[in-house]
Each structure stands twice: as C-alpha cells, then as structure tokens.
Amino acid sequence: MQDPLKLDNFICFAVYTASHALNRVYKPLLDALGLTYPQYLAMVSLWEQDGQTVGGLGEKLFLESSTLTPLLKRLETAGYVRRERSKDDERVVVLRLTEEGKHLREKAIGIPGCIVAASGRSAVDLTRLQSEIVALREALNRSVA
Amino acid sequence: MQDPLKLDNFICFAVYTASHALNRVYKPLLDALGLTYPQYLAMVSLWEQDGQTVGGLGEKLFLESSTLTPLLKRLETAGYVRRERSKDDERVVVLRLTEEGKHLREKAIGIPGCIVAASGRSAVDLTRLQSEIVALREALNRSVA
DNA sequence: CGATAAATAATCGTGCGCGATATAAAAACA
DNA sequence: TGTTTTTATATCGCGCACGATTATTTATCG
C-alpha cells in the first residue's frame, strides 16, 4: 500500500459501500414482501430450518439478541413468525413460521436470480467471489475472538 | 445455484456479515480516536481533500445528507470539523478540518496496517479482492440507476 | 423583471446494530 | 438443600442509514 490512508484503497470501504449497494437493489424487491433486508435474512434462515431459537438464529446471522428481539417482534406483528418460550427450558424462545410465513417463501424464490442479474456476473463467478468474502469474514472473526 | 434460497449461497449475506466483521475489528482501534466507523470514513475523505461540501462528501461515501448532517454535527461537537455556509452559494455547507482534526491523522495512520494483519492476507491479495468488490458495487449501482 | 423550477441541506420517522445492563431460569456447587 | 454461577433473552441508549418532506437559496424561463 503506497498511501495507507486513501479511501479508495480500503477493503473496508469497498465492503461497506457494496453492502449499501446490495441493500438498494434488494429494497424494491423486499418492499413487495413487506420485509426489510435483515428480516429477509431471518426468514431465509427459518425457511431452511423452522423452530430455531433466538440464540441459534443469532449465531447464524452473526447478530445479538438486542438486534434480533425487536426484529422478530416485528415479524411476529407482521404475522410471519410466532415466538414461544420452550417448555423444556423457559429461558429459550423458539421461533416458528406461521402458515403465512411459510407461504411467503414462494414470493421470495425469484429474488436471488434478480440479484445475480443486477450483479452483471455469472452465478459461478459470484460463487467464487462469495467464498473469498466468506474467507475474509472468517479471518476477521478469528482475529477478534 | 442449486438451492437459490440457501443463506450460505448468498453473496449479499457474505458482504453483509463481512461488513459487520470489519466493524468489529475497527471498533477498538477507532474507540482510541473517539470515532465511529462512518465518522472515520468522513475524516479519511477530508484528510484527502479538505474543504469538501456535504454533497460532495456524500457522493464519495455514497451517503445521503440525512445521514451525513447529524454525523458531521457530531464531528463538529468533537472538535474535528467546522461546518460553514459557502459565501458564494448559501445553499452549500463547506467542511473544514480543525487543527485537532488534522492532527488526528497521525493517530490513524497505523489503522490500515492493523486491518491487513487481521485479514490474514497479503496487501496485494487484499487489493485484488478489493477491486473485485468495487466492481460488484459499480455493477449493482448501475442496475438501480 | 417576476414566477417557476432546480439544487442543497436539514428535519423527521422507522429500523437496524451493538454495548451495557437487567431479568429470569437453569446449572453447578458446597 | 441453599447459594452462586452461568445461560438465554430482553431492555435501553446511541449512532447510523434511508425515504419523504421541508426550508432556503439559486437558476431558469417567459
């Protein structure tokens, strides 16, 4: 790095702005489902595996309960999710999709394709880039752990 | 994409979580300077070019005035930046670094190196990845424009 | 010139995202 | 058993981030 304090040389700035750019592409698609982007991620995770706990979902999404609890309450108000205390362990809150929540998946099925199209890349190329970014994330997470 | 609705296959999720991971690495480094991460980006941009307008800075950082105005007020309160209306065009607000704000650059100079170290990659490799992510950002921005 | 349109910040409301703390339940321990 | 510690979630305060709107100034147009 020639000039260490130049914005355009920052990997962080690239990731930060790419994240915002992705959000802007998702916005109109998710508006149609009545979801925000983090809510969509929670729903995707629950479509993969219903009945997760708040903590389990947080581990998958790398989010704290202080972020998830209000978000999940909004999904509950929207009628997509039910939050119920586990009988076995009253500390745990189990998340269950409502019928409407399960149904929403059909409407969401086309979204990933729209993102691939907006990226202007092949799915194969995106997958390669994606795994590189995941590797970066893992290295960063290791360094703080 | 075999399963289009699988979280681990989402480029967006990779970027989203990598962005959070970067933030977590930056946090302790920036705490020492009394800056948040977006404030740091604004300072980096002003260190590169003092006397930018709110709109100009927003264009560089891809942020709206509704985000920047409060952020810049906090930087002003912290004593790093002055906000003054332009004499030529009263609509425009010009941003100028205070002496303290200029000074802060010395304390920030070591941060990029810490990030490279935390990433566990070579600077060359990071630069390549960074330019790929920028290309993705540009493609996405084009698709919404 | 005056009316209209465009440009620039600022304000407001909503939803993250996190650290610090609180609360309650379960587990561990003496 | 009763006490302490740990675990799981929730609450609170702060700072983004954005869309929609507003206020003010400048530019444009007839």
Residues B17-65 have pLDDT tens digits of: 999 999 999 999 999 999 999 999 999 999 999 999 999 999 999 999 9
Distance A131 CA to D6 C1' (A): 36
Give the model's pLDDT for residue B21. Answer: 97
Nearest to residue B93, comparing CAs of B123, B108, B113, B73? B73
Say whether A140 and B61 touch across the interface (CB within 8 A): no
Q: Quick check: A114 contacting B, CB < 8 Å?
A: no
Local confidence pLDDT in tens for the 145 residues of chain A? 456 678 887 899 999 999 999 999 999 999 999 999 999 999 999 999 999 999 999 999 999 999 999 999 999 999 999 999 999 999 999 999 999 999 999 999 999 999 999 999 999 999 999 999 999 999 999 988 7
Q: Quick check: B20 contacting A, CB < 8 Å?
A: yes
What residue of B is the nearest CA neighbor of A29?
Answer: B144
List phi, psi (to 5°) of A132.
-65, -40
Say whether A11 and B119 touch across the interface (CB within 8 A): yes
Distance A88 CA to D14 C1' (A): 36
Give CA–CA dist B30/B37, Å, rounded: 7
As given in the structure block, the two tokens for residue A101 are 């929540």
Domains, chain B, in order of start with CATH, read 1-31+110-145 (no CATH), 33-105 (1.10.10.10)
B123 to chain A: which residues are within 8 Å by CB? 1
Q: Quick check: A70 contacting B, CB < 8 Å?
A: no
Q: Which residue has the higher pLDDT, A17 or B143?
A: A17
| Mean of the per-residue pLDDT values of chain B | 94
Q: Which nucleotides of C are covered by protein (CB under 7 A)?
A: 7-13, 15-20, 24-27
Tokens 């990226």 map to which residue? A119
Our CA dihedral for B40, B42, B47, B51, rounded to 10 degrees, sits at -150
Query: What is the CB-side half-sphere exposure of residue A111 using CA atoms within 13 A?
Result: 29
Q: How confident is the model at residue B7 (pLDDT cuts 50, 70, 90)?
A: confident
- DSSP secondary structure string for all residues of B86-135: -SS-TT-EEEEE-HHHHHHHHHHTTHHHHHHHHHTS-HHHHHHHHHHHHH
The answer, yes or no, to whether residue B108 has pLDDT greater than 70, is yes
Give the model's pLDDT for residue B87. Answer: 94
Q: Which of B4, B11, B41 sits opposite A13 (nearest CB)?
A: B41
Give the model's pLDDT for residue B8. Answer: 82
Say whether B123 and A1 touch across the interface (CB within 8 A): yes
Distance A45 CA to C17 C1' (A): 19
Give the model's pLDDT for residue B11. Answer: 94
CB neighbours of residue B48 within 10 Å: 14
Say whether B21 and A140 touch across the interface (CB within 8 A): yes
A64 touches strand C (CB under 7 A): yes
Q: Which of B7, B119, B131 sits opposite A60 (nearest CB)?
A: B7
Q: Which long-range contacts (CB under 8 A, 24 or more apart) does A20-23 make?
A: A20/B62, A21/B62, A21/B136, A21/B137, A21/B140, A21/B141, A21/B144, A22/A115, A22/B11, A22/B12, A22/B15, A22/B16, A22/B140
Question: A70 vs chain B: nearest CA distance in angstroms?
Answer: 19
Mean pLDDT, rounded, for B114-132: 94
B66 touches strand C (CB under 7 A): yes
End-to-end CA distance of chain B: 27
Mean pLDDT, rounded, for B118-126: 93
Q: Quick check: B109 contacting A, CB < 8 Å?
A: yes
Nearest to residue A115, comparing CAs of A16, A28, A11, A36? A28
Give the model's pLDDT for residue B81. Answer: 98
